[in-house]
Amino acid sequence: EGMLASQHNLLAVVEPLLRGQAPDWVPLAGAMPTIMNTRGVANAEALADIANGIRPGCARMVCGETPDDERKQLFKDFAAGAFQFLTNDSVCTEGVDLPFACAAAMCAPTKSITVYTQRSGRVFRPLTELACDPAFNLDSADGRKLRIAASRKPFCVIFDFVGSSKKHKLITPHDVLGGLYTDEVRARARKITTEKTEMDVSSALALAER
């Protein structure tokens, strides 16, 4: 009951905001297939209704209660361009492969950098639809970049409606150099280098672990 109340409280705050901005954010996405990350089924349903109110038929919703066969068909329709906005409640995160999605919309805050990274990661996957001719040699960084640039998805976009990008940073030097450390250690190392600007990142990571 407490979780349900929390979801409705969030919806009461977020829905009027997104409904008021809908004439702006729906066209802003252009034709990009967009995954909208929400918290709570009611929130996901409301966002689909908002988008469909601006452009009928452009959005559908998926949640944990969606039957597997219906979910698979939704993903197929999304990939085929049958609709543009896929609103979801904690479904399109880890383990869901939707490389054709070009944009992710953050419509629910999270304190977890892991959750934020998973939500963002759904749109970071490149399309691999082009034939492997010599210009697109996947064994080289330049070849991979050329293949991405020539695909239907040369870039991706993240829309942040709740300020998550101010709290979380997807990649920092602490993440690059601290891949073997825990999230807590990397966060502490970032704080250390902010306070002690003369300290290098590797030293800060070692100190943070201690």
Map tokens 């492969």 to a residue: 97
User: With bands split at pLDDT 50, 70 and 90, how would you rate the model's confidence at 123?
Assistant: very high
pLDDT at 125: 86
Residue range 31-58: mean pLDDT, rounded = 90
Q: Is 10 in contact with 18 (CB distance < 8 Å)?
A: no
Q: For residue range 51-108, list pLDDT tens digits in order.
A: 898 889 999 999 989 999 999 999 999 999 999 999 998 888 877 888 899 999 988 8
The helix or strand, by DSSP H or E, that contains position 194, with its residue range, turns out to be helix 183-195
How far is 138 from 81, CA to CA, in rounded Å?
A: 27
Q: For residue range 132-179, list pLDDT tens digits in order.
A: 555 567 778 888 888 888 888 889 999 988 888 888 877 778 888 888
How far is 131 from 34, CA to CA, in rounded Å?
A: 26
User: With bands split at pLDDT 50, 70 and 90, how would you rate the model's confidence at 208?
Assistant: very high
The identity of residue 45, as a single letter, is E
pLDDT at 77: 96
User: With bands split at pLDDT 50, 70 and 90, how would you rate the model's confidence at 26?
Assistant: confident
Point out the least confidently predicted range of 6-20, 107-121, 157-171, 180-194.
6-20
Hey, is 87 helix, strand or coil?
strand
Reply yes or no on whether the pLDDT at 204 is more than 50.
yes
Q: Does the pTM of the predicted model rise above 0.75? A: no
How far is 173 from 2, CA to CA, in rounded Å?
A: 39
pLDDT at 1: 47
Reply yes or no on whether the pLDDT at 10 is more than 60.
no
The helix or strand, by DSSP H or E, that contains position 104, with its residue range, turns out to be strand 103-106
Q: Return the closest-CA partner of residue 178 out of 192, 164, 167.
A: 192
pLDDT at 101: 94
pLDDT at 58: 94
How far is 158 from 124, CA to CA, in rounded Å?
A: 10
Please name the residues in contact with 179: beta carbons below 8 A apart, sequence gap of 6 or more: none
